[in-house]
Amino acid sequence: MNTHRKLFGTDGVRGVANEEPITSETALKLGRALAHVFRNSSGRHRRILIGKDTRLSGYMLETAMESGICSMGVDVWLVGPLPTPAIAFLTRSMRADAGVVISASHNPFQDNGIKFFSREGFKLDDETERRIEALVFDEGEIAKHRARPDDIGKAARIDDALGRYLVFLKSCLPRSVAFDGLKVAIDCANGAAYKVGPEALQELGADVVALGVEPDGKNINLNCGAVHLDAIRETVLRQHCNVGIALDGDGDRVMLIDERGGLFDGDDVMALLGRKLAAEGRLRGNAVVATVMSNFGLELALREAGVRLIRTEVGDPAVAREMRLNSYNLGGEQSGHVIFMDHSTTGDGLISALLVLAHLAESGRTLSELRAMRRVPQVLENVRVRNRVPFAEMPDVQRIIADAERRLAGTGRLLVRYSGTEMLARVMVEGEDGVQIKTLAQEIGAAIQKYAGAQSD
């Protein structure tokens, strides 16, 4: 077998459209490999569901995946442009054997990606990804398993997929909840939620101002959506909206804007709804799962309500893994990727927004009044390094970190880690005293520089 470079990253296969690995050829091979891995677990006829966002390259990749899957004797259901969490939901509810999402999330249109969901709606485990990867690079092995002419798979378009997801979204809220009297701006990033986002809000009674709902294949995430908030903020203030909702290109993340133009990110959502669920006795394990990047203010807000914050490494797969392992039902990232496991198996920007809006409607308060956490000041010191010497092998660094942790005990925190992508050590310190945290970050940075620092240019 060819030991080719690794295909799968932390969130599926990603790259520039029409360059390896995001080509028709590799998409076809991925389709074949996926179909084979999910076909041979029982005798019954298999079905795989494919959804995508609004990128120009989605047509090309969807067709190639469909062809590869059908060639292995597996049927395909096509649902067209829908948010990533909608594909996870439909894969589960329609009893498909796997789901495929063709999207590169918040990246520009030139990029694209392919990620897979299991029949339960979770991202595939590493072992299954390895099996798929091995088959992609082993032409001989996969060729042995082509379907006979009378067993080739069929493809069908599911016309009511959007309607099914809409019904599901509304089912996440109590029947008594309506958004009558709320004026809501929503920016769909010219992406996968461009139809379903505004429709969900309208059906629940909101007065909707919709932005980023005219995709042309090239304008996804272009100066709009969750990573470009100027347009939604300006709209909320100019049109006197109660709330602004900004989704990313594949709809699994959300940033909210309050009526004053203030940012309400993933940490804010977890603080508000974590405390609400705990007060109602519905927060499992009395804990919220977040990554090491979440602000210390989230920890303080939850602690005040008697709720534990459990931290994982960066990335929503790490959060989801911890949640499944210990049956927690709320977790997420500061970036707006929040998982409500009672409703969905993955982060869903629309569910997050609807749950916040429901709380707003029930309480009769504004979003700025509902803010449940105060962000603790943070400084970040980046140190360019020659090599990643383990911090445990730097006695001075260890001593300064231990001393800093004693001084911050209960009022702040620090995080020292190497960047995964650059030759940098990152020192992040949070605390109430701005001067103190800057000094601590600089002291730790200087000590790391002494041991592992690169010569400055």
Q: How far is CA 428 from CA 160, 288, 315, 402, 422, in A?
A: 47, 22, 17, 14, 16
CB atoms within 10 A of CB 65: 27
Q: What average pLDDT does this structure show over 144-148? A: 92
- Show the domains of the chain with their CATH numbers: 13-159 (3.40.120.10), 164-370 (3.40.120.10), 378-452 (3.30.310.50)
pLDDT band (50, 70, 90) for residue 325: very high
Rounded CA-CA distance 253/263 in Å is 14
* 451 has pLDDT over 90: no
Mean pLDDT over 274-299 rounds to 97
**pLDDT confidence tier of residue 456, bands split at 50, 70 and 90:** low
Helix (H) or strand (E) holding 425: strand 424-430
Residue 452 has pLDDT above 70, yes or no: yes
pLDDT digits (tens, 9 = 90+) for 363-408: 999 999 999 999 999 999 999 999 888 999 999 999 999 999 999 9
What is the predicted pLDDT for the residue at 133? 94
Indicate if the pLDDT at residue 247 is higher than 90.
Answer: yes
Residue 298, both tokens: 């989230």
Select from 49, 43, 45 the least CA-distant residue to 118. 49
CA 448 to chain centre: 32
For residue 225, which of 241, 248, 244 has the smallest C-alpha distance?
248
Confidence (pLDDT) at 400: 93
Q: With 80 as the cut, is the pLDDT of residue 128 above it?
A: yes
Phi, psi of 332 (to 5 degrees): 165, -165
Tens of pLDDT, residues 54-88: 999 999 999 999 999 999 999 999 999 999 999 99
Residue 113 pLDDT grade (very low, low, confident, very high; cuts 50, 70, 90): very high
Lowest mean pLDDT among 14-28, 79-93, 116-130, 274-288: 116-130
Q: How confident is the model at residue 454 (pLDDT cuts 50, 70, 90)?
A: low
Sheet containing 378-384: order of strands: 378-384, 424-430, 413-418
Known catalytic residues are 105
Q: Find the helix packing angle between 296-304 and 266-279, rounded to 10°.
A: 10
